[in-house]
């Protein structure tokens, strides 16, 4: 890793690491009467570790200019490994929190193991740890390949990847000791948020710089989506997290937004995190790995344009559908609902474009579990975007809101769409990136596919049933006009579904372990491919890249 950095990049890496370590030390000193102290020392250790790693390889020979004739793949490999590690960790936590709902004693009387702390560990670990690392890794791959350009330097990519993982680490460890700003999917406190802004802006600049070096006249669709993902997530993150810390020595901060405005900002953020993190980014992934694996051209460029602009425009308005029947003014709810309905067609256009791309390759879908991962992901994408628009309709929402139906919907998207497209992309990418003939075991890819699909189906059917029953029980009145059920009655009714959900999650978790093993063994044990074709930027342009 260090050997691929130039001398000046090594110096920069040490400088940044030491700077991070000093910040950590400052936090540890300022926050010595607060939980911030723990994070101070964690940041200090992280910075020193990075500095040490670079110093350790500092005198290795510098990379030659030959590197400029190839793509820079080292951070992509690290990103895939980190992504799978986070997947296994956060899916395990997911199974645990699912079990807690059926068997509450599984907290073992430990504060850190309570539901309220473990749940954000699960959501952050999956969305940011697994999803974020997967997006960073694949976007680095796609931006270079579709631009036929090596990324402009070696250091930025590492800074983005490692810095992002520091953010994830701070978030997750913070929740366990009680650090949270209590905003869903934005629980991390102010210092972690500021750090993420620095990392994310670097990510954006790196992406744009690479695109600017492209040797293709046109920018491929996948890059539109990745850029939208990076740009909008930056905006969302900054606006939703504007907060004033109690002091520089305290982890706690208070948002500048308050009351219903705060709720609106939070769900504008929350819904667009779904839109631009969990949708746009992964559509970028789909737009590259699906046609590559299927060896088919994209069904329709025009449909791509329609769905891209439809998704980016309409999603921005839809967040208020999370606040139906609340203190949020009725007119804002109406706008959220109608824009969610108009969003349906662009979303389906994306899913349809993906599935129609498979025309002429359905025999491959049948035989190749990797391609099947991506095909099923597109189906779940279509399914959950329909469900989302449907649930955004106010009268439907009056039944579904606050119930497990929402949880089921989220997981149809997160398991069925996000995770499946990621696994499909990884199985496509890993052999090519490490220049192996194939995956270590196609049979294990097949096993993983069926475990993932079965787990997803068990999970969402359990939550649909549970959610609809719950919603109906809450609103059922007796003839005399009193509620027919108490809240506890609805909990009793949900119990079997909670067990089923845990089982579904467990299947999915086992699948991810098998996938990680398969990727690991591919890197370790599969022989190098004799010839994978040329996977290099246009050699005639090396002179330009050499600057």
Q: Which residues contact other proteins (rule: CB under 8 A)?
A: 145-146, 148, 216-218, 220-221, 288, 291-292, 296-304, 306, 310, 325, 329-331, 333-335, 337-339, 341-342, 344-346, 348-349, 352, 359-360, 477-478, 480-489, 492
In whole angstroms, the minimum distance from the beta carbon of 469 to other proteins comes to 16
Of residues 79 and 537, the one with the C-beta less far from other proteins: 537
3-class secondary-structure state, position 327: coil
CB atoms within 10 A of CB 187: 21
Residue 218 in tokens = 């046109």
In total, the chain counts a number of residues equal to 547
In whole angstroms, the minimum distance from the beta carbon of 343 to other proteins comes to 8
- CA terminus-to-terminus distance, the chain: 22
Of residues 15 and 297, the one with the C-beta less far from other proteins: 297
> What CA–CA distance (Å, rounded) separates 74 from 1?
7
In whole angstroms, the minimum distance from the beta carbon of 434 to other proteins comes to 18
> What CA–CA distance (Å, rounded) separates 369 from 417?
15
Residue 153 in tokens = 């330097």
Of residues 488 and 528, the one with the C-beta less far from other proteins: 488
Q: Point out which residues pair with 232 in neighbouring strands.
A: none
Of residues 96 and 287, the one with the C-beta less far from other proteins: 287
In whole angstroms, the minimum distance from the beta carbon of 299 to other proteins comes to 6
Of residues 266 and 320, the one with the C-beta less far from other proteins: 320
DSSP secondary structure, 81-98, as one string: HHHHHHHHHHHHHHHHHH
Of residues 146 and 465, the one with the C-beta less far from other proteins: 146
The answer to whether 104 and 522 have CB atoms below 8 angstroms apart is no
> What CA–CA distance (Å, rounded) separates 535 from 228?
26
Of residues 301 and 450, the one with the C-beta less far from other proteins: 301
In whole angstroms, the minimum distance from the beta carbon of 354 to other proteins comes to 13
In whole angstroms, the minimum distance from the beta carbon of 421 to other proteins comes to 16
Of residues 133 and 333, the one with the C-beta less far from other proteins: 333
3-class secondary-structure state, position 255: strand
In whole angstroms, the minimum distance from the beta carbon of 395 to other proteins comes to 12
- Per the listing, tokens 């694996």 go with 293
The answer to whether 46 and 166 have CB atoms below 8 angstroms apart is yes
In whole angstroms, the minimum distance from the beta carbon of 283 to other proteins comes to 14
Of residues 33 and 330, the one with the C-beta less far from other proteins: 330
> What CA–CA distance (Å, rounded) separates 505 from 373?
17
Residue 259 CA to chain centroid, in angstroms?
Answer: 29
In whole angstroms, the minimum distance from the beta carbon of 272 to other proteins comes to 19
Q: Up-side HSE of residue 470: CA atoms within 13 Å toward CB? A: 25
166 — phi, psi (to 5°)? -65, -40
The dihedral formed by the CA atoms of 29, 33, 39 and 40, expressed in degrees to the nearest 10: 0
3-class secondary-structure state, position 15: helix
In whole angstroms, the minimum distance from the beta carbon of 280 to other proteins comes to 18
Let me know the angle formed at the C-alpha of 260 by 256 and 265, rounded to the nearest 5 degrees: 60
Of residues 76 and 451, the one with the C-beta less far from other proteins: 76
């Amino acid at each position: 890793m260090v050997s691929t950095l130039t001398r000046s990049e090594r110096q920069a890496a040490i400088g940044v690491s030491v700077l991070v370590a000093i910040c950590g030390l400052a936090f540890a000193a300022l926050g010595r009467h607060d939980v911030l102290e723990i994070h101070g020392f964690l940041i200090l250790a992280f910075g020193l570790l990075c500095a040490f790693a670079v110093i350790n390889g500092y005198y290795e020979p510098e990379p030659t200019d030959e590197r400029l004739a190839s793509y820079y793949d080292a951070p992509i490999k690290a990103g895939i490994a980190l992504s799978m590690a986070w997947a296994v960790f956060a899916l395990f936590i997911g199974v645990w929190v699912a079990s807690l709902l059926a068997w509450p004693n599984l907290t073992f009387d430990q504060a850190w193991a309570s539901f309220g702390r473990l749940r954000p560990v699960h959501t952050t670990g999956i969305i940011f740890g697994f999803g974020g690392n997967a997006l960073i890794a694949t976007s680095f791959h796609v931006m270079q390949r579709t631009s036929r350009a090596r990324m402009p330097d070696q250091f930025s990519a590492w800074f983005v990847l490692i810095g992002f993982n520091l953010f994830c680490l701070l978030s997750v460890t913070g929740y366990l000791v009680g650090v949270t700003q209590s905003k869903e999917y934005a629980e991390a406190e102010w210092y972690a948020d500021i750090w993420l802004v620095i990392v994310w802006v670097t990510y954006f600049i790196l992406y744009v710089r690479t695109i600017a070096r492209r040797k293709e006249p046109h920018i491929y669709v996948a890059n539109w989506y990745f850029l939208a993902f990076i740009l909008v997530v930056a905006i969302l993150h900054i606006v939703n997290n504007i907060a004033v810390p109690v002091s520089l020595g305290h982890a706690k901060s208070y948002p500048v937004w308050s009351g219903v405005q705060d709720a609106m900002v939070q769900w504008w953020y929350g819904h667009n995190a779904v839109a631009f993190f969990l949708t746009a980014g992964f559509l970028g992934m789909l737009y590259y790995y699906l046609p590559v694996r299927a060896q088919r051209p994209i069904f329709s460029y025009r449909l791509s344009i329609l769905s891209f602009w439809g998704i980016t425009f309409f999603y921005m308005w839809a967040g208020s559908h999370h606040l139906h029947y609340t203190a949020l003014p009725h007119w804002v709810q109406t706008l959220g609902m109608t824009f969610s309905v108009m969003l349906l067609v662009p979303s389906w256009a994306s899913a349809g474009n993906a599935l129609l791309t498979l025309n002429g390759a359905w025999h491959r879908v049948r035989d190749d579990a990797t391609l099947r991962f991506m095909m099923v992901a597109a189906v779940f994408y279509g399914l959950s975007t329909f469900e989302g628009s449907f649930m955004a309709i106010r009268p439907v929402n009056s039944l579904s809101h606050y119930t497990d139906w929402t949880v089921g919907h989220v997981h149809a998207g997160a398991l069925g769409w996000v995770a499946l497209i990621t696994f499909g992309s990884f199985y496509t990418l890993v052999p090519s990136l490490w220049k192996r003939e194939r995956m270590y075991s196609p049979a294990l890819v097949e096993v993983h596919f069926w475990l993932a699909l079965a787990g997803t189906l068990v999970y969402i059917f359990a939550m649909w049933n549970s959610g609809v029953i719950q919603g109906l029980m809450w609103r059922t009145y007796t003839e005399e006009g009193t509620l027919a059920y108490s809240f506890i009655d609805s909990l009793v009714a949900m119990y079997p579904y909670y067990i089923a959900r845990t089982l579904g999650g467990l299947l999915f978790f086992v699948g991810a372990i098998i996938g990680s093993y398969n990727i690991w063994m591919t890197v370790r044990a599969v022989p190098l491919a004799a010839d994978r074709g040329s996977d290099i930027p246009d050699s005639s342009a090396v002179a330009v890249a050499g600057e």
